[in-house]
Amino acid sequence: MMTKEGRKKVRAERVDTRCGALGHMTVDEIRERIVGENVNVTCPECGAIHLTREEAEEAGLKKISSSVRYTKIKAEAEE
């Protein structure tokens, strides 16, 4: 896919390490990066759906350990 400036648009990939994190993304930002018809619009960082950039930034300020998802995963791991 080519952009207006003639540059190629590349797809960013995220590995499950902090150094490879893309951070919290909105639904629109996720759709820009997805190739194909199957689109999962949940945030790769926290698993929530952020409709606006403000929601994504707010999620970035929260501690992961205070999220419902973290608590659930921790409980499952301790079983």
33 in any annotated domain: yes
Residues 32 and 10: beta-carbon distance below 8 Å: no
pLDDT of residue 54: 92
In which domain, by residue range, is 33 found?
Answer: 18-78
53 in any annotated domain: yes
pLDDT of residue 2: 54
37 in any annotated domain: yes
Q: How many domains does the chain have?
A: 1
67 in any annotated domain: yes
Mean pLDDT by 10 residues, the chain (79 residues): 65 54 80 78 84 89 79 89
Please tell me whether the overall predicted TM-score, pTM, comes out greater than 0.75 for this model.
no
